[in-house]
Amino acid sequence: MTPPTVISGVAGFIGFMTARRLLSEGKSVVGIDVVNDYYDTRLKEARLQILGQFDDFRFERFDLADGDRLAVLTREIGPEVMIHLAAQAGVRYSLSNPRAYSHSNLEAFAEVLEAARQAEIGHLVYASSSSVYGMNQSYPFKESDVVDHPVSLYAASKKANELMAHAYSHLYGIPTTGLRFFTVYGPWGRPDMALFLFTKAILAGEAIKVFNHGDMRRDFTYIDDIVEGILRVAAKPATPNPDWDPVHPDPSGSSAPYALFNIGNGHPVQLLDMIQILEEELGMEANKEMLPMQPGDVQATAADVSRLQAAVGYRPDTSLQTGIHEFVAWYRDYYDSK
């Protein structure tokens, strides 16, 4: 019998959708989440309630940074794959709550790596972020780019995860793959993300906050495309690159079983164009409050996904119009039923 996939952050947006996809395909999942109150826990509990309807789902509620509980669990289960999606998210939140990031993104990740080592997990897949590209303005962003200039603590913590993972891949031969997600959105999304915030404000007749006076471009990536990318990558453990050159090192790979992939739509959209699509979908015009750029933000993101396509034969392709339509339909249904 195939051992279950372990998914951390299973009450979160991406974790929930990944778990639901696996469970719907008849796979078994052990999900972990502390269910913190960074945003409304009722949404997280609603996700868990849906997952709980599957017989092959087991939920463990604990903080990954707390001692060796994860190591004990993974040794018990013996998973072939662990998908680590738990993290303290949000760029702006990191400006006022830095300790949350050192705890959840650094201490917890160290425990994840130790658990992977002790349980001899076949493949550790973990969430990185497009935010690691920081001050880089060479578009589109490539995994081979040097990412040494983050502009937020959140971004720095994700870069640190990549470095920590490489150390464990090098020292212990653990296959690790980091996934740099680009502006994920869709049904069951995070309430702190722009699309969610804008939808809520427009329907309430409130102004939306448009930073940098709308001069922003984002590589919006639909959640189903993200999940597809995660699962395809998870099924193909990282391997050493025999051509990796330590004299001219490529950050995207290594002589160790280590890999990095962008997962983005590859078609950046102006923020004001996204708002226009949302207005059309809602049938309402937004009252826009134009504001300057916020600390920690970047003006544009754009993913080069050629490496992902070459490795697993996949690239995200859901249009923003389709994705926003699906999100608004879910939002109306979910909140109208409350």
- Domain of 257: which CATH number? 3.40.50.720
Give residue 284's pLDDT band: very low, low, confident or very high (50, 70, 90).
very high
Q: Has residue 17 been placed in a domain?
A: yes
- What is the model's pLDDT at position 183? 96
- What is the model's pLDDT at position 309? 97
Rounded to whole angstroms, the Cα distance separating 231 from 214 reads 34
pLDDT tens figures, 132-148: 999 998 999 999 999 99
Q: Has residue 104 been placed in a domain?
A: yes
Lowest mean pLDDT among 19-28, 289-298, 303-312: 289-298
- Domain holding 102, by residue range, is 5-190+223-264+303-316
- What is the model's pLDDT at position 337? 64
Q: What is the percentage of the chain residues whose pLDDT exceeds 90? A: 89
- What is the model's pLDDT at position 295? 85
Residue 141: CB atoms within 10 A of its CB come to: 24
Lowest mean pLDDT among 60-69, 208-217, 234-243, 292-301: 292-301
Q: Looking only at Cα atoms, what is the longest distance across the chain?
A: 59
- What is the model's pLDDT at position 297? 83
Q: Tokens 């050159």 correspond to what residue?
A: 245
Rounded to whole angstroms, the Cα distance separating 218 from 221 reads 9
Rounded to whole angstroms, the Cα distance separating 330 from 204 reads 17
Contacts for 100-109 with beta carbons within 8 Å, 24 or more apart? 100/38, 101/153, 101/154, 101/157, 102/157, 103/65, 104/64, 104/65, 105/154, 105/157, 105/158, 105/160, 105/161, 106/157, 106/160, 106/161, 107/65, 108/63, 108/64, 108/65, 109/84, 109/160, 109/161, 109/164
- What is the model's pLDDT at position 10? 98
The residues pairing with 113 across neighbouring beta strands, listed in sequence order, are none
The residue annotated as part of the active site, out of 93, 101, 126, 154, is 154
Rounded to whole angstroms, the Cα distance separating 238 from 259 reads 6
- What is the model's pLDDT at position 293? 87
CA atoms within 13 A on the CB side of 226: 30
CA-to-CA separations, 239 to 212, 255, 329, 337, in angstroms, rounded: 42, 8, 41, 47
Is the pLDDT confidence value at 338 over 60? no
Q: How many domains does the chain have?
A: 1
Q: Is there a contact between 255 and 173 (Cβ–Cβ < 8 Å)?
A: no
Q: Has residue 271 been placed in a domain?
A: no
Is the pLDDT confidence value at 89 over 90? no
Q: Has residue 276 been placed in a domain?
A: no
> How is 232-252 classified by DSSP, letter by letter?
HHHTS-----TT--SSS--TT
Q: Has residue 216 been placed in a domain?
A: no
Task: Name 66's Cβ contacts closer than 8 Å, sequence gap at least 6.
Answer: none
Residue 324: CB atoms within 10 A of its CB come to: 22
- What is the model's pLDDT at position 146? 92
Among residues 75, 61, 58, 172, which one has the least CA distance to residue 115?
Answer: 75
The mean pLDDT value for 190-203 works out to 96
Q: Has residue 295 been placed in a domain?
A: no
Report yes or no on whether pTM surpasses 0.85: yes
Q: Has residue 274 been placed in a domain?
A: no
154 is catalytic: yes
Q: Is there a contact between 215 and 277 (Cβ–Cβ < 8 Å)?
A: no
Q: Say which DSSP state 303 is in.
A: B
Is the pLDDT confidence value at 153 over 70? yes
Q: What is the percentage of the chain residues whose pLDDT exceeds 70? A: 99
Q: Has residue 80 been placed in a domain?
A: yes
Give residue 306's pLDDT band: very low, low, confident or very high (50, 70, 90).
very high
Rounded to whole angstroms, the Cα distance separating 84 from 108 reads 10
- Cα dihedral value 220, 224, 229, 234, nearest 10: 140
Give residue 258's pLDDT band: very low, low, confident or very high (50, 70, 90).
very high
- What is the model's pLDDT at position 197? 96
